Amino acid sequence: MLRTGLAAGLALPLAACTRRGNDAGPAVRVAAASPTPERTAATPAVASPTAARTPTPTPTPTATPPPPPPTPATIEFRPSPVGNGEATLLTVRATERRGQIRFLGQTVPLRQQGEILWAILGVPIDAAPGPRSAEVTLLDANGATSQRVTATVTVATLERPIDYLEVTEEVQSILTPQAAALEEQLRTKEFAAFDPAARWEKPFIRPVAGDISTQFGSGRSVNGGPVGGFHSGADIANDAGTPIVAAGPGRVAFVEAHPIRGISVIIDHGAGVKSGYHHLEAALVMPEETVEAGTLIGRMGTTGYSTGPHLHWEVTVYGVNVDPVTWTQTTFRP
């Protein structure tokens, strides 16, 4: 299956991309080393007529050699190609120690780890297939742009099932425009800031026992209606009250009741990655608590827009929903 191949995080360094990155990224050097003597000479002479013509000391030419040009950066995506609704790890090898990347309309900072700069990028489920460029801007020690490099990664469309939901009138009545607006408002707040340091070093663990009842990214048809929207997480069904644990280490960022997602815990794992645990019967942690993979955080329920006890589990990368199950198979760290 295409999905498995991609999701398993096959390390396929796209040599073509790397090469293209180098070619397309002429080093944009900032004129930090503009010769100062010129500026001195250009200063208008404002000496008053009465001023004695004291000989101005000739400035000693302190011609500092220009800094060596930066070594061209090399860029790699893993996996590459990347499926829609999946994440990819971008690594940059460069002499610079800081930078940022612009990809699919979002600009995010690069993290440093030893000789490598890196970022996790999320591809939205509705991203069109085809090559997508990522523009990396690297900064020198003074924070000035040292070089810009463009690399390309291909977005591949993954096959997703369609989920035919039977929803009672009572549950369906939860989905009002007001509920949707409040949900959106809460989501905006929840994805307004991200902890910088990545806290996970292993694949995530499944947060609860049980089978996946609805896959991430499934198309949705409610009560025989047309297929619209997609499923933003993976559902794991079990009995009400089943213990739910954190999938990875992090900081409890939010505990709150959503009109649609119900009672929720959201954990910030750093570097743009968050996980959300929704429709809980009860949350058992408080905001700002530090959790490890396996820390008990709540109990399974059916709060919000839900047809029965299950966990709606989400993983987001800078607010972009990606398949959480892939995170149990891949570490996404350099």
Return residues touching Zn ion (CB under 5 A).
235, 312
Residue with the CB atom nearest Zn ion in the bound state: 312
Q: Residue 312 Cβ, how far from Zn ion at the closest point, in Å?
A: 3
What whole-number distance in Å separates Cα of residue 134 and Cα of residue 149? 8
Q: Please, which residue, 124 or 276, has the CB nearer to Zn ion?
A: 276
Tokens (6 digits) for 226:
């047309």
Tell me whether residue 140 or residue 235 sits nearer to Zn ion (CB atom). 235
> Rounded to an integer, what distance in angstroms lies between the CA atom of residue 223 and that of residue 220?
10
Residue 230 DSSP one-character state: B
Which residue's structure tokens are 């009465």?
Answer: 50
> SS3 of 327, please?
helix
Nearer to Zn ion, 30 or 212 (CB): 212
CB 200 to Zn ion: min, Å: 23
> Considering the complex, what minimum distance in angstroms separates the CB of residue 231 from Zn ion?
6
257, 254, 239: which is closest to 301 by C-alpha? 239
Smallest gap from Cβ 229 to Zn ion, in A, equals 11
- Which phi and psi angles does 291 have, rounded to 5°? -125, 160
Alpha-helical segments (H) within the chain: 2-7, 15-24, 36-42, 169-172, 177-190
> Judging by beta carbons within 10 Å of its beta carbon (0-12, 13-18, 19+), is residue 133 exposed, middle or buried?
middle
Find the shortest distance in angstroms from Cβ 75 to Zn ion: 35
Give the C-alpha separation, 119 to 330, whole Å.
Answer: 15
Cα 10 from Cα 278, distance rounded (Å): 30
Report, in Å, the least distance between residue 224 CB and Zn ion: 19
Q: Give the other-Cβ count within 10 Å of 139's Cβ.
A: 17
> Which of residues 274 and 312 has its CB atom nearest to Zn ion in the complex?
312
Q: For residues 131 and 308, which CB has a smaller minimum distance to Zn ion in the complex?
A: 308
Nearest Cα to Cα of residue 216 among 85, 310, 89, 83: 85
What minimum distance in Å lies between the beta carbon of 100 and Zn ion? Answer: 33
Least distance CB 261 / Zn ion (angstroms): 9
d(CA 58, CA 221): 82
Q: Tell me the longest C-alpha to C-alpha distance in the chain.
A: 96
Instruction: Give the residue with the Cβ less far from Zn ion, 17 or 311.
Output: 311
**Residue 152 or 214: which CB sits closer to Zn ion?**
214
Whichever of 190 and 235 has its CB closer to Zn ion, that residue is 235
**Closest CA relative to residue 148, chosen from 17, 30, 25, 19:** 25
Minimum gap (Å) between residue 276 Cβ and Zn ion: 10
- Token reading at 245: 């644990």
Residue with Cβ nearer Zn ion (136 or 234): 234
